[in-house]
Structure 1
């Protein structure tokens, strides 16, 4: 009994933190999603599934934000994972200056997201922006990145993806260094080319790490808010209004906390569903544990 009580005492700070920071707010949001709660109104009444019905059948902005979130998340995951994996494969060769290059790639990770977004907002300005100035050297006329619909979404996606490339590269690099050298050497002795070694040996052995990185990146992409807020404020014409930013607009600009809570519940369910699908499908493409 004494050992059991000691064990519960040791885990109690973590359990208390989970209860206060995660579980209670999650239940509160779920309860509020069935009410017409408003920050300007003193009382809230139950409205059942009205918020969800309005969301699905009467609010075209909801479906637009879902599509925008899907495009943003897919682009962020692909760019982030591919660049991180490529960087890790290059650094794994232990070329001269590789450690310095890794340190430079890791600098954005330790930079605050707000500072990263503000810097890129200035770099992506119209004619006076650094990016367009560099493009003009090659006789390329760049768009007004943050004030045109498609370029704005693409720009925010790339900026968000570049932020954590260094961190994911470190994760991939650690996984690469744990791969048994015997497996690579055996493949080369069997006559495999460098491309075949990468494709048939290294990438399959990296599959568990890749799955973890994809899930982490996907979950993070659904939580992106500051890049949207500081770079485009959801514009132009709601082209960059993802679900997380739509929740902010409904809850803190329009004061509709009940409807914002319903949006938050939907975002949570979508995230949980995608992660569940990835874990269910992992056995089909993860060849080692």
Structure 2
């Protein structure tokens, strides 16, 4: 065998290095601008362009306009639009009603989040069992989610009136029920319960999907080791569904801070201001009292609270969400 043939035989099984620029089309010996990577990037940008455009037009632009309006006094009736700088923010700090409004908002959000998540998790655990009729009850508990919010609220308004259906049932049992929507001690509780029953089915379905993704072998191994039901729930179920708990908590917190229709239909913020939450107070200032500049300032405050709570929950996930670092 000649030396050249021997060299060819030795190098025949090796992977030869690819020359730089090989595989890319070239024009006149120069590398083409439209490489495979750039074409892929262009396709990706084109696919997300509608979403980016929608976010810019319907999220970023309105946020910027709200902040701009908050520095003006806009009188629609008089047709004036006057720049006032930070006057609306000074008014926000001096608003005597704001503390009560924020307290009512915090009470409503806390009650809604705790009851909603707890009830949804309990229902999901029960409906995850292999029992007869679980499909029927899943449908029953999820049905209110797809019902019109206003229709749902109007029905409950009739049920919770002083002479409504709920007090009628209590009267059969010899109990004199209160005026649920006009008592200071019952109005907020009634609104919270109505909202919980409306949306608990959504979180229930999310928890149910998470529970069905937990491997059954883990429960079997824990049971063989002598772990009880509570230990299995605390050590296996909660950690493995913790990402879903994070998701549902963020969704529920944000939704609780944006509640409006239930308050407007059931209590109109009363009695007094006991059920006046921040969004309803914003509506009153802007559309009832025509203080659009101050209403925009309250919108900025609402955005700041939602953003702060969302970021706080997202940052805290590393301490309790499974497989997060």
TM exceeding 0.5 = yes
**CA shift at 1:6, angstroms?**
3.2
Distance (Å, rounded) in 2 between the aligned partners of 1:8 and 1:200: 43
Q: Does 1:22 align with 2:59?
A: yes
User: How do residues 21-170 of structure 1 correspond to structure 2 at under 5 angstroms?
Assistant: 21-57=58-94, 59-126=95-162, 128-170=163-205
Distance (Å, rounded) in 2 between the aligned partners of 1:189 and 1:176: 20
**CA shift at 1:232, angstroms?**
1.1
Aligned to 2:208: 173
Distance (Å, rounded) in 2 between the aligned partners of 1:282 and 1:41: 50
Which residue, out of 261, 268, 288, partners 2:296? 261
In 2 relative to 1, CA 43–5 (structure 1 residues): closer, same or farther, beyond 3 Å? farther
Q: Does 1:250 align with 2:285?
A: yes
**CA shift at 1:273, angstroms?**
0.6
Which sits farther off after the overlay, 134-143 or 17-26? Answer: 134-143
Distance (Å, rounded) in 1 between the aligned partners of 2:190 and 2:287: 26
SS of equivalent to 1:150:
coil
**CA shift at 1:2, angstroms?**
4.4
**CA shift at 1:184, angstroms?**
1.2
Q: Does 1:13 align with 2:50?
A: yes
Distance (Å, rounded) in 2 between the aligned partners of 1:140 and 1:284: 48
Distance (Å, rounded) in 2 between the aligned partners of 1:176 and 1:165: 16
- Note the aligned Cα RMSD (angstroms): 1.4
Q: Does 1:184 align with 2:216?
A: no
| Mapped contact 1:207–1:288 kept (Cα < 8 A) | no
**CA shift at 1:37, angstroms?**
1.8
Aligned to 2:19: none
SS of equivalent to 1:184:
helix
Aligned residues: 287
| Mapped contact 1:39–1:256 kept (Cα < 8 A) | no
**CA shift at 1:42, angstroms?**
2.1
Distance (Å, rounded) in 1 between the aligned partners of 2:119 and 2:214: 20
SS of equivalent to 2:83:
coil
**CA shift at 1:247, angstroms?**
0.9
Residues 195-242 of structure 1: per-residue CA shift (max 9 Å, x gap): 221122112222111111011000001111110111111111121110
| Mapped contact 1:109–1:167 kept (Cα < 8 A) | yes
Distance (Å, rounded) in 2 between the aligned partners of 1:74 and 1:141: 29
Unaligned segments of structure 2, at least 5 residues? 1-37
Distance (Å, rounded) in 2 between the aligned partners of 1:281 and 1:4: 34
**Bigger radius of gyration, 1 or 2?**
2
In 2 relative to 1, CA 52–177 (structure 1 residues): closer, same or farther, beyond 3 Å? same
Bigger RCO of structures 1 and 2 (CA < 8 A, at least 6 apart): 1
Residues 22-43 of structure 1: per-residue CA shift (max 9 Å, x gap): 1111100011111112222323
TM-score for both structures, normalised by structure 2: 0.85
Aligned to 1:194: 229
